[in-house]
Amino acid sequence: MIQLKTIGELRLMKESARLVSRTLGMLAKEIKPGITTLYLDKLAHDFIKDHGAEPAFLGYGGFPNSLCISPNEQVVHGFPNKDEIKEGDILSVDCGAILNGYVGDHAYTFEIGEVNPTTKKLLKVAKESLYKGIEQCIRGKRIGDISHAIQSHCEKEGYGVVKELVGHGLGKKMHEDPQVPNYGKQGSGKVIKDGLAIAIEPMINLGTEKVKFHNDGWTVTTLDNQPSAHFEHDVCVINGKPVLLSTFDYVYEALGIVSDEEKPFQLDF
């Protein structure tokens, strides 16, 4: 059952989401060739704790770390480890925090140094599809409208849209109803209402849509070992329109990126 949130609850959720956003921005300053993903995990863990919150991923279903870090062909749920990041890699960093009893859950795929143009375009289109989905998060529309917008934008470029993994509702729990697939039919699924809070997270592959689930119970990779991109925002509906709870502004500030992509979805409340 979908648990619609009050404005007061959404304010608390925004605080949680923005802490995750600030964590990703802090990490953006540290991500470079030669560092390990385990080092990034420690930085994130300490940053979240220092801000009075708890890492949402740590211990969730037995997950042993505070970040899911998934390089290159890893789609999601990668374990931080002692391997060094290399020039030309891409790195999906998925972070969660629990603050004031509510979960923030937010992800960005980083370019490590000079990334080849084919992979760079994948990241561009995948992030564009996230905002295409957010545009459809309007009162009276349906979850399938979000899904269809993401799928159509990516498939027209020839990319594989992962179907085994989906976005989700968000609140006091990290995974609530409804599921938010990155594929689907317009006009299908649950009706979108004011107070809806969801994590929209396209997972888009350069090649095949098919993925492999590894024996560790977490790691997911593309079946053809080509790169995968993952971007995620926490979004709610206020006065019939989509409003971002999370932001990439801290990442962009760290990386020197100028963007107005979030402007249509910003609201002070």
- Does 94 show up as a binding residue in the annotation? yes
- Does 77 show up as a binding residue in the annotation? yes
- Does 194 show up as a binding residue in the annotation? no
- Does 51 show up as a binding residue in the annotation? no
- Does 177 show up as a binding residue in the annotation? no
- Residue 64: CB atoms within 10 A of its CB come to 12
Give a three-class secondary structure readout of 34-61: CCEHHHHHHHHHHHHHHCCCEECCCCHH
Separation CA 191–CA 237 (nearest Å)? 12
Q: Residue 104: CB partners within 8 Å, gap ≥ 6?
A: 13, 16, 17, 18, 19, 20, 21, 56, 96, 97, 98, 234, 245, 246
- Does 168 show up as a binding residue in the annotation? yes
* Strand partners of residue 154: none
Task: Quote the crossing angle between the two packed helices 117-135 and 143-155, to the nearest 10°.
Answer: 160
Largest CA distance in the chain: 48
Identify which of 132, 49, 41 has the alpha carbon closest to the alpha carbon of residue 94: 41
Residue 236 CA, chain-centre distance (Å), reads 15
- Sheet of 74-76: strand order equals 74-76, 220-222, 211-213
- The answer to whether 149 and 256 are in contact (CB under 8 A) is no
- Does 232 show up as a binding residue in the annotation? yes
For residue 159, the 8-state DSSP code is P
- Residue stretches of the annotated binding site for a divalent metal cation: 94, 105, 168, 201, 232
- Residue stretches of the annotated binding site for substrate: 77, 175
